[in-house]
Amino acid sequence: MEKWLGSASLALTLILGWAVWDAAQQEWERVQRTYYRLALSGAQTEAEKEWARSQRIELKQLQLKERGTVERCVSCHLALENPMFRNFPEPLRKHSSLLESHPPKQFGCVACHGGEGRAVTALEAHGQGGILAKPLLKGDYMQAACYNCHGLKTLPPRVTAAVVRGRQLVNRYLCLGCHKINGDGGEEGPELSTVGSDRSWIWLYAHLARPQGVVAGSTMPVFSLNREEIKDITVYLMTLLDSRDQLKNLPLLAKRAAKDYPTERPEDERNHGDIKFAADKGAVKFAYDGNILFRGAGCNLCHMLGIRGGEVGPALTYIARKRDGENLERLLKDPEEVLPGGKMPQLYLNERQIKALVGFLSTLS
Amino acid sequence: MDGHPNRVLGFLAALRALGRQLYRSIFRGSYPASLRQQLAVVVNNLILHVHPTRVFRRSLSPQTTFGLGLICFYLFIIEWVTGVYLMFYYEPSTGAAYGRILDLDYVITFGRLMRNLHRWAAEAMVVAVALHMCRVFYTGAYKPPREFNWILGVVLLLLTLALSFTGYLLPWDQLSFWAVTVGTNIVSYAPVLGPKLRFVLLGGDSVGSDALLRFYTLHVLAVPALAALIINYHIWRVVKDGGLAHPLQRHPGGEEKTAPAPRTDPVIPTFPLVVYAELLVFVVLMAGLVAASLLFDAPLEEEANPLRPSNPSKAPWYFLGLQELVSYSAFWGGVMVPTVLTLFLLFLPYFDRKAGGEGVWFARERMGMIIVWTVILAGIVVTTVIGVFLRGPNWSFYWPWQGWPGPQ
């Protein structure tokens, strides 16, 4: 019995030692040591040297009283405001000049960059693993964060260009045919009004590229989007936040209001009233051959023809047996009249387009 | 010491003397060598005196109890210690709770380890208490004179579930918020009193800041204090009821009698072997728990958001059998089954009165009751497994290899 007890105790001691060793490994301590060493070697004046020598290795955090939270990104990103580190690689790199208009003591980091501000390892803080996955917004994806506070009107157009392009694409690909966004749209797919709060941009990107790879059994059609288009749509979707996420930045917006900027986004932007299918200048120019038009208008995304096509709507392989030309014409002109409450979106086709399509569909029997 | 020729040896001798003095002052005497001293140790030590001075040799062999009752006790102590550590940092308010949990996980020294330990020990405690009860049933250890201690055990099972359930809400993440919403909804299915009961439990009609404060108070003060009291009584009764249940002695004439213990079952002093065995169980349990806590993190989702229900919303896993039944019928699943089951457990020793089979696993003469119990147990396990693994969005059925529709 003593032997068993002895070896079990030894095992427990080793495991506890592992726990202590685990707790003693702190990524940010290594980064801080490196930073102060670099700061010391690059110091020009005696005062700078003295400063670098006198710094303690300690956890640092930004107390964001207005937003009722703390962010510890600065435990590693120490060189935010140090001009000496202008061209250093991350994490020790000076921030761009945007920091002057967005002082970190007030704004923190997460408001623009996303991520998990309380975490102190790169993996967890950048949302690439660990307990929660809130991936950092990178590159053009940060436009969503700019837009969420500023809207479109007060910023140079290129800063929110991806949001605008994304919204045009949502329009062009008839996303509202199936998805509802702020009151407009169909019921077939999930509502997207708060999708930016529900999903990360990585999820949205992967899902747009191949819906069935992310959601098993999804009936969402595979749109043949290129990378730029997927990115732009993702950026736009990231601007669709729930009320809590919108309120999160309200204290910061209140400051902005004090500087005489408009606090409210213009009404048409807020409720996305400008998303109307035919209104978009970027809409596809239809060819007037029914067969080509069938693909050009995206019918095959939802409807099966032979063995190809989507599964959202009914297969159209033998549609002419079920509906005659007049019925098809009425249906294409106003789906709601023929199929009240159906999923079929209003496509806003003109007379000639409808004639061409009906001609093609009537051959399917 | 003064007169010692070698200073080093003299110092070591003095150190040994100090060690002996320390040991004697703590344990009130030197290390027990003789049988008489070994028996006295148990009587004279505050912690050990809950043991009898001698136990049957068979109490020491693992297959008698698998140490399950002891493991439940240790897990309770581990919960206590890690719980105090967590209490240093936790704040039971809806605005701060989730942030505190994140801080525990991200920056507080040993915070994540302690939270993981607390979580895994809690899950283990539910399992261990259930297994302990099965052991007691299958060895017929609730037969007279141990009927009342069985009732105490059932109460402790309910308190364990209450502890686990009240603790479930405290992280204030999506998982805990919706699990408690669902769990308290099951309560409200009780006739007449159900909705009132739920109101009292939550301090309102929905899970909010009052519910959090209420669950916190229950979790850290009321329920553990009551449980500690009953655990003491439960253990004390084990000793007073004659120790572990042991097989009946068969007299040459054929008549059965419970006491005195048969000569063929040898008796050993509690100290040192039993005490060492108990320590061994603790060390092994602790090593396993710490290793598990270093390897696997306790679950944590996004901060609770009452506007965004998770789908499926599942109660804590030990209530998922109930939730599965509730999905068929709220009244039968949510009220009748749990009530009947609890009453059955509580009064089992008073209607299963046939003597025989004490201290023997799966005794042949108790086969009827054993089959009844096993069928009930299988029902609980099957419904729980269905609830945990096979239910997806909208409580639809999915095999594990089938993907759930909708985003994960």
> Complex ipTM, two decimals?
0.84
Q: Token pair for residue A317?
A: 């392989």
| Confidence category of residue A278, pLDDT binned at 50, 70, 90 | very low
Q: Which of B109, B277, B287 sits opposite A1 (nearest CB)?
A: B277
Q: What is the pLDDT of residues B129-169, one digit of tens each?
A: 999 999 999 999 999 889 999 999 999 999 999 999 999 99
User: What is the reported pLDDT for A129?
Assistant: 67
**Phi and psi based region of residue A132 (left: phi greater than 0; alpha: psi -120 to 50; beta: remaining):** beta
d(CA B369, CA B351): 11
Q: What percent of chain B has pLDDT over 90?
A: 58
User: What is the reported pLDDT for B3?
Assistant: 57
Beta carbons within 8 Å of B338's beta carbon, 6+ residues apart: B322
Angle B359-B362-B368 from CA coordinates, rounded to 5°: 115
Angle A145-A149-A152 from CA coordinates, rounded to 5°: 90
Greater confidence (A253 vs A331) lies with A331
Q: Which of A19, A116, A218 sits opposite B113 (nearest CB)?
A: A19
- Chain-wide mean pLDDT for chain B? 89
Q: What is the pLDDT of residues B69-86, one digit of tens each?
A: 999 999 999 999 999 999
Q: Which of A160-164, A197-201, B378-382 has the lowest mean pLDDT?
A: A197-201
| Confidence category of residue B263, pLDDT binned at 50, 70, 90 | low
- Ramachandran angles phi, psi of A71, nearest 5°: -130, 130
User: What is the reported pLDDT for A227?
Assistant: 92
| Confidence category of residue B405, pLDDT binned at 50, 70, 90 | low
Rounded mean pLDDT, B257-274? 71
Say whether pLDDT at A273 is over 60.
no
Say whether pLDDT at B314 is over 80.
yes
> Does residue B15 fall inside a structural domain?
no
Q: Which of A76-80, A155-159, B149-153, B249-253 has the lowest mean pLDDT?
A: B249-253
Q: Which of B54-63, B279-288, B363-372 has the lowest mean pLDDT?
A: B54-63
Q: Which of A99-108, A132-141, A251-260 has the lowest mean pLDDT?
A: A251-260
* Cα distances (Å, whole numbers) of residue B74 to A13, A204, B50, B133, B159: 18, 47, 15, 16, 16
- Chain-wide mean pLDDT for chain A? 82
- What residues of A are in contact with residue B283 (Cβ under 8 Å)? 5, 8-9, 11-12
CB contact under 8 A, B407 and A203: yes
User: What is the reported pLDDT for A287?
Assistant: 42
Task: Tell which A residues from 112 to 171 touch B, by Cβ distance under 8 Å.
Answer: 116, 118-121, 124, 130-132
Say whether pLDDT at A91 is over 60.
yes
> Does residue B113 fall inside a structural domain?
yes
> Does residue B215 fall inside a structural domain?
yes
User: What is the reported pLDDT for A279?
Assistant: 40
Say whether pLDDT at A174 is over 90.
no
Name every residue in B having a CB less than 8 A away from some CB of A: 95, 99, 102-103, 105-107, 109-110, 113, 272-273, 276-277, 279-280, 283-284, 286-287, 290-291, 294, 297, 300-302, 305, 307-308, 402-408
- What residues of B are in contact with residue A64 (Cβ under 8 Å)? none
User: What is the reported pLDDT for B19?
Assistant: 92
> Does residue B14 fall inside a structural domain?
no
d(CA A69, CA A67): 6
3-class secondary structure, A185:
strand
Buried-exposed string A344-363: b where 16+ CB fall within 10 A, e elsewhere: bbbbebeeebbbbbbbbbbe
Say whether pLDDT at A250 is over 90.
no
Q: Residue A203 is inside which H or E element, if any?
A: helix A201-209
Residues B144, B350 contacting (CB under 8 angstroms)? no
> Does residue B30 fall inside a structural domain?
no
Tell me the nearest-neighbour CA distance from A1 into chain B, angstroms: 7
Say whether pLDDT at A254 is over 80.
no
Q: Residue A163 is inside which H or E element, if any?
A: helix A161-172
- Most confident range (mean pLDDT) of A182-191, A194-203, B203-212 is B203-212
User: What is the reported pLDDT for A131?
Assistant: 62
Give the residue numbers spanning the domain of B180: 49-249+267-395
User: What is the reported pLDDT for B181?
Assistant: 92
> Does residue B284 fall inside a structural domain?
yes
Domain count for chain B: 1
Q: Which of A152, A150, A180 is nearest to A164 (CA)?
A: A152
d(CA A266, CA A141): 22
Tell me the nearest-neighbour CA distance from B204 into chain A, angstroms: 22
Q: What is the pLDDT of residues A96-112, one digit of tens each?
A: 888 888 888 888 999 88
Tell me the nearest-neighbour CA distance from B308 into chain A, angstroms: 9
Please classify residue A105 by burial: count the beta carbons closer than 10 Å to its beta carbon, then call 0-12 exposed, 13-18 middle and 19+ buried: exposed
Q: What is the pLDDT of residues A18-63, one digit of tens each?
A: 999 988 888 999 999 999 999 999 888 999 899 989 999 999 999 9
Domains parsed from chain A with CATH numbers: 27-136 (no CATH), 141-279 (1.10.760.10), 290-361 (1.10.760.10)
User: What is the reported pLDDT for A271?
Assistant: 42
Q: Is the dihedral of CA B298, B304, B306, B308 positive or negative?
A: negative
| Confidence category of residue B408, pLDDT binned at 50, 70, 90 | very low
User: What is the reported pLDDT for B86?
Assistant: 97
* Composition of chain B by helix, strand, coil, percent to 5: 65, 5, 30
| Confidence category of residue A238, pLDDT binned at 50, 70, 90 | very high
> Would you say how long chain A is, in residues?
365
Q: What percent of chain A has pLDDT over 90?
A: 25
CATH of the domain at B177: 1.20.810.10
Q: What is the pLDDT of residues A316-331, one digit of tens each?
A: 888 888 888 888 888 8
Helical pair B147-169 and B337-351, crossing angle rounded to 10 deg: 160
Greater confidence (B192 vs B179) lies with B179
Say whether pLDDT at B304 is over 80.
yes
- What residues of A are in contact with residue B280 (Cβ under 8 Å)? 1, 4-5, 8
> Does residue B10 fall inside a structural domain?
no
Q: Which of B177-181, B264-268, B289-293 has the lowest mean pLDDT?
A: B264-268
Say whether pLDDT at A257 is over 70.
no
Q: Is the dihedral of CA A139, A143, A144, A145 positive or negative?
A: positive
Say whether pLDDT at A11 is over 50.
yes
- Ramachandran angles phi, psi of A110, nearest 5°: -70, -30
Q: Which of B82, B106, B120, B301 is the best residue to mutate to test the A interface, defined by the most A CB atoms within 10 Å of its own CB?
A: B106
Taking residue B188's Cβ as centre, other Cβ atoms within 10 Å add up to: 18
d(CA B326, CA B198): 16
Rounded mean pLDDT, A208-237? 88
> Does residue B3 fall inside a structural domain?
no
Residues B141, B234 contacting (CB under 8 angstroms)? no
Say whether pLDDT at B309 is over 90.
no
Say whether pLDDT at A256 is over 60.
no
d(CA B34, CA B272): 11
User: What is the reported pLDDT for B407?
Assistant: 53
CB contact under 8 A, A1 and B273: yes
Say whether pLDDT at A281 is over 70.
no
